[in-house]
Structure 1
Amino acid sequence: MKKKYIHLYLTGLLLLSVACTGNFRDYNTDLSGITDDDLIIDDNGYGIRLGIIQQGLYFNYDYGKGKNWPFQLTQNLNADMFSGYMHDAKPLLGGSHNSDYNMQDGWNSAMWTHMYSYVFPQIYQSENATRNTQPALFGVTKILKVEAMHRVTDYYGPIIYKNFANAANHYRPDTQKDVYYEFFNELDSAVVALGGYIEEKPDANEFARFDILLDGNYSSWMKFANSLRLRLAMRLASVAPDKARAEVEKIKKNGYGVLETVTENVAVSTQSGYTNPLGELNLVWNETYMSAPMESILTGYDDPRVEAYFKSCTDVKFKNEYRGIRQGTCFAHNHYAGLSKLSVTQSTDAPLMTASEIWFLRAEAALRGWTDEDEETCYRNGVMTSFRQWGVDGVEKYLQSELTATDFIDTYDEENNIEARCKVSPKWNQQDDKETKLEKIITQKWIAMFPEGCEAWAEQRRTGYPRLFPVRFNHSKNGCIDTEIMVRRLNFPGTLQTEDPEQYLALVEALNGEDHGGTRLWWDTGNNNLE
């Protein structure tokens, strides 16, 4: 990390160690820094709040303390790495940290702290401000609420959701099952509010100037709502298949459809002042590099998207090659600094959901017999849409390829070498069993969702695909994280145990397991239940 950023990084860690992790107890003291005057200028009240929420999803909002280190802690040093996407080439903390399951509370508390200190208070206030007077913005708020908070529950499990700011109910946490079921209720409310408004005012676009995720059209937000419902429904495919299938049926009955074309992606736009924090970490801090699984799968498949995702090595020994870093090797050197960095820049839109992801969700739904679509057609459409999204040619050749992942050969330490774990190829074979087909679907979805590590990590945990490399060294506390099963969740913030032990104990009770990284979440069953 460059010296001029060290003070910001350390300040961030300090703030996370002392910040109130339970801002739901007094939402009026949220830390967003928005004044009443800001809210009334040029009718900005609704839009400013929604703007904060949108930027908070892929965290890059400056509250006066810098705006890139929060993202690094919130996402990059956990989900982006645990998903198998990226790794830092620098030996942070001497080489032992989240990478080898020496879990760092100052890093892992960030998603909780920032969502409850900055984002959820704005969601709460936006709901209250729009519920009875602005149905379209109320619907948009509900969609953003689900998009924001499913990322939080997918990190930790139980969260404070239905009882946020509810002193009468003692801010009681919800189990993850209750949270997910409430997500679907929220999406129901969003669809009703937006649908009625569109029918009444089909050409209305008053939200357009505040919309930094889509095109400002309320019909696009309806597609987002349906697509989000599909994402969350498939998350429950093993743990609650009847509920999941019922939610898929709701999408069929909604006339607005889901994201389908290459232009229908949900991403935080950099056209109006937002800058992509991953680009800053990549180009200025020099801390985001290709992972070993990415190298193994993309180079093994001879996948042309590798050139869109990553830069070739600057190390002359590996000129024009794409080489990555294996997680959990505890290296204490800088020999990987010349390997493949990301192609993401500060001006790259930050992706939250792509049409290709939705095609792969449709492929899985078809595979499970929940729709009458053809799983191969959906699978092929997912790959083709991803290729088009990245402006890459050769998709038909790729879809006929029977290449598989390559073994990982470390560029510095042969002790880190490991045989390829991913054995499926891109080619769809109708004769394959359902589990093999699912592995192909999820592996291609994992490739297509890059670089959005939150969703990739969640789906990898749910399905076990793609097959990632285990850490070489496992320094989890008391061996609580299994090397082969890998990290399943993040601990609740450590400060909760001292600042609010009653709340902490309620969260652990709702988790129904020990508060460590080896405890599975509710939807994480370890079985894909395809039959």
Structure 2
Amino acid sequence: MQTFYRYTSFFALAMVAAGAPSCTADFSEINTNPSAVTANLVNVNNLLTRVQKEAIFDSYDAGYITEFAGYYSNPATATLSARDWADPFTEFYRTYLINISEVIRLSRDKPESAGKNAVARIMKAWIFHQLTDLYGDVPYFEAALDVNQVINYPAYDRQEDIYKDLLKELKEAEHQLSILENQVSFGPSDLIYQGSTDKWRRFANSLRLRLAVRARFAAPDLASEHIRDVIGKPLISANEFNAALTTEGEAAANTENRNPMYNSYLSNTVPKYATNTMADNLILRNDPRLPVYLTAAPKPQNGKRWKGRPLALDLDQEDTDESYRQEELASLGALFHAAGYQIKLLTAAEVSFLRAEAALAGITTESAAEMLGKGIRQAMEMYHINPALTENYLLSRTNAFNTFEPEQKLEEIIVQKWIAGYYQSREAWAEYRRTGYPVIWVGKAVGDTEGQIPRRLTYPSGEYLRNGKRAEESAARLEKGDVFMSRIWWDKRPGLPFRHPRQGMFPPELASME
């Protein structure tokens, strides 16, 4: 039986790529020769464009992972595990990984395409790290192979081994880019950097830093080795280097190339509600991003304009004086569901916060306070916050940071990263699982997650039909089996999750609402 690890045929993929829709002004000019049905005729530029568009658009939505991240609360959600959801597992292999692997194969033995090959390797590393961070162990070394080498029942590789190889791939691909001359560029087919070698090097190094920091509680020596190696290399050090894709605006010829959140708002009249976690953290810090991130409640209760909705409320909690009716809740800021929006993969602010954490841990000799301040300023710049408000906020937060104990300092770094990465939901959920921050209040609709936010996604039921033996082998390695509360490899910090100070009490809000 053929599985989706190797799509039905390479030629089918080539033809799908030929019909890939546009998502930038330049992309409408990119076409594939309709006779491209053999490997030597496939346009790798179009394959890259398709992967970038589909994978990045799919990373930005308001779904269950955005709830797990503490950014969004859906009134239709009861428990945090019992729902009808679209599982991303299959899509990763069928659409993203098989296509980007083809780009790598088709550019591997062409000296003039070494730059394209390196970019594709970096892109594949980003995609695989997203996948493994959702599930833990997944098919890696035996997945997305050439049609002549396909393995229909690939082994599930341990996440530790996947991480080690991703770190190696990023290091090698960055070096590959650093020694290139007279290379053919992806140009406008590259929707992230338009073929800029310098920016792709920065992205590779910064992604390696992210993965190394993520691994530090599970493999401190491995993390330290890569952090120290990459910290002096070119990084995403300013917003001009941010890895991001800008969607087309309202006038896009193909409506699927507009911000997916914009299209969602057109078809759904229910707002994307802010959480009490986001509202509390912005209000308690007097954060000037509050009116950018949130839209005030249209009919606030008792003047609480920025009231957020908690996660997993049961019917008793819904039906109280502390109501969470639609008109009384703050929702997602208009910027985030505008037709033209910049979907972010990795930013200068995140890099600065990663460097702050590494410094706090004693891995580097940089100043954690300086890196924290730099990250906050870069995060404010992304949303054009008034410079005077930014400086006042910086002074307040750095003064507080300097009085904190080490654990409080880590919490401040992670919460600032969480705020800066608003709606980079997969990253926020991963960091919550890794560090315990921000603390998130969970209601009484506990379901089968022990009243907690899930630690991983479970393998889709189809996997047990397609690749059952391998899926079962992987499930057996998990501490509790293939369930939401089994911890993946890097989820090693003891004592997690941290208890919210009002957990078990109702209402959960900490902030004094306006």
Band the TM-score falls in, shorter-chain normalisation: 0.7 to 0.9
Choose the corresponding residue for 1:88, options 55, 74, 90: 74
Pairing of 1:441-456 with structure 2 (within 5 A): 441-456=413-428
Q: CA deviation at 1:213?
A: 1.4
Aligned residue pairs, count: 455
CA gap 1:24/1:341 in 2 versus in 1, 3 angstroms: same
CA RMSD between the two structures: 2.8
Offset from partner CA, 1:357-393 (integer Å, 9 cap, x none): 1100000111112222111100000111111111112
> Where in structure 2 are there 5+ consecutive unaligned residues?
20-30, 497-514
How far has the Cα of 1:223 moved from its partner? Answer: 0.1
Counterpart-to-counterpart distance in 2, 1:310 and 1:428: 25
CA distance in 1 between counterparts of 2:212 and 2:137 reads: 18
- Tell me which of 309, 325, 349 is aligned to 1:335: 325
2:160 maps to 177
1:458-478 alpha-carbon deviations (Å, 9 max, x no partner): 0111000111112332011xx
Amino acid of the structure 1 residue aligned with 2:4:
N
- Hey, what does 1:290 align to over in structure 2? 274
- 1:28 match: 9
Q: Which runs of 5+ in 1 are unaligned?
A: 1-19, 61-70, 402-424
* 8 Å Cα contact 1:310-1:340 kept in structure 2: yes
Deviation at 1:395, TM superposition (A): 1.8
What's 1:395 paired with? Answer: 390
CA contact (8 A) 1:208 1:215 kept: yes
Of 133-142 and 43-52, more deviation after overlay is shown by: 43-52
Q: Distance in 2 between matches of 1:433 and 1:21?
A: 55
Secondary structure of 1:268's partner?
strand
One-letter code of the match for 2:404? Answer: D
Q: Structure 1 residue 160 and structure 2 residue 139: aligned?
A: yes
Distance 1:44 1:346 in 2: 32
1:203-282 superposed matches below 5 A: 206-252=185-231, 254=233, 257-271=234-248, 274-282=257-265
Q: Is the 8 A contact 2:114 2:176 kept in 1?
A: yes
Identical-residue share of aligned pairs (%) = 26
What's the counterpart of residue 50 of structure 2?
Answer: 52
List aligned pairs for 1:87-106, cutoff 5 A.
87-89=73-75, 91=76, 95-96=77-78, 100-104=79-83, 106=84
Alignment counterpart, residue 374 of structure 2, candidates 376, 381, 389: 381
Match of 2:483 in 1: 516
The 2-side partners of 1:33 and 1:459 are apart by 38
Aligned mates of 1:171, 1:520 — CA distance in 2: 22
1:458-502 CA distances to partner (integer Å, 9 max, x unpaired)? 0111000111112332011xxxx2325x31011100122234322
Letter in 2 for 1:340: A
| Aligned partner letter, 1:491 | T
Instruction: Give the conservation status (yes or no) of the 8 Å contact 1:108–1:493.
Output: no
Q: Residues 21 and 116 of structure 1 are in contact (CA less than 8 Å); yes or no, is this contact kept in structure 2?
A: no
Question: In 2, Cα distance between the equivalents of 1:503 and 1:168?
Answer: 12
Question: Which stretch of structure 1 is more off in the superposition, 230-239 or 519-528?
Answer: 519-528
Question: 1:221-256: per-residue Cα shift (whole Å, max 9, x none)?
Answer: 0000000000000001111010011111221453xx
Task: Indicate how the Cα distance of structure 1 residues 371 and 526 shifts in structure 2: closer, same or farther if over 3 A, else same.
Answer: closer
* Residue 435 of structure 2 corresponds to residue 470 of structure 1: no
If the length of structure 2 is used for normalisation, what is the TM-score? 0.81
What TM-score, normalized to structure 1? 0.79
Q: Does 1:122 align with 2:122?
A: no
Alpha-carbon offset, residue 39 of structure 1 = 3.8
CA contact (8 A) 1:237 1:528 kept: no
Measure the CA separation in 2 of the matches of 1:260 and 1:240.
26
Deviation at 1:397, TM superposition (A): 1.6
Which secondary structure does the structure 2 equivalent of 1:76 belong to? coil
Alignment partners' CA distance in 2, 1:145 and 1:471: 38
